[in-house]
Amino acid sequence: MSESQRFQLGTIGALSLSVVSSVSIVICNKALISTLNFSFATTLTSWHLLVTFCSLHVALCLNLFEHKPFDARAVMGFGILNGISIGLLNLSLGFNSVGFYQMTKLAIIPCTVLLEIIFFRKIFSRSIQFSLAILLLGVGIATVTDLQLNALGSFLSFLAVITTCVAQIMTNTIQKKFKVSSTQLLYQSCPYQAITLFVIGPFLDGLLTNKNVFAFKYTPQVLFFIVLSCVISVSVNFSTFLVIGKTSAVTYQGF
């Protein structure tokens, strides 16, 4: 099998893993939030990242991948930025309608393209440019016609889009610049992401839900779904870094 064929198979495998794990965690989290009333999304994400780090540490001890330390400041900045972007996306959902939040996530794609054109001089085909123009038109129409639009929600959405775009572009550029794998980058950045969300998670969740995550009644059923969500998140986080590393931030968002 040629190098090109192996790369294509690896990319297809990464995309497939991303789809399956993403759908699985959405179903699991929906059961947690909608059925069991566990609405502490940011805190839950911090637990996801902690479990992901522990899983990767076990894999490292079993010599399943090689630890490759590199620029500590780059890793720290990248990890903290990722954590902040997750918090901002959750805030955006809390202060906007669900429809506008979905438009915010769609806006990440053209914003990523714009940043890559400006800072990396990347060239995109006419078909991609045309698709993005239609997408931007749809986002614009949805924004203008959204009756629940407010200044604070719009500002939070803007910050969420920018931080998410930069974080996803960094995921790709760091892997290429320092010649590290998706696993190596995820292992080193996970602690910073987790700590960031551990700190801001309970505050953000309290602000959005008027509930205290530490006062919640953790029944066996709730604990089961939390553990299941954390286990699935290992696959979600790994496949995200894998897809962006093999393709690009634009491909990941579009897929």
CB pairs under 8 A, 24+ apart, for 214-218? 216/38, 216/40
Task: Give the pLDDT confidence of 91-115 residue by residue, as tens digits.
Answer: 887 888 777 777 788 788 888 888 8
64-70, Cβ contacts within 8 angstroms, sequence gap of 24 or more: 65/181, 65/183, 65/184, 65/187, 66/184, 67/184, 67/187, 68/178, 68/180, 68/181, 68/184, 69/188, 70/178, 70/180, 70/188
Note the pLDDT tens digit of each residue in 160-215: 999 999 999 998 899 989 999 888 999 999 999 999 999 999 999 999 889 999 99
Query: Residue 142 contacts by C-beta under 8 Å, 6 or more apart in sequence?
Result: 99, 100, 103
What pLDDT digit, counting tens, does each position of 131-143 carry?
777 877 776 676 6
pLDDT tens for 29-82 read 888 988 899 989 899 999 999 999 999 999 999 888 899 998 999 999 999 999
Tokens (6 digits) for 131: 């698709």
CB atoms within 10 A of CB 65: 15
Overall residue count recorded for the chain in this entry: 255
- Quick one: which of 111, 210, 209 has its CA closest to 157? 111
Closest C-alpha among 194, 182, 197 to residue 235: 182
CA atoms of 252 and 20, how far apart (whole Å): 14
pLDDT at 252 over 70: no
Strand residue runs (E) in the chain: none
Give the Cα separation of 213 and 201 in Å (integer).
Answer: 9
Asked if 57 and 194 count as a contact pair (C-beta separation under 8 A), the reply is no
Backbone φ and ψ for 233, nearest 5 degrees, come out as: -60, -25
Report yes or no on whether pTM surpasses 0.75. Answer: yes
CB-based contacts of 253, cutoff 8 Å, min separation 6: 108, 109, 112, 168
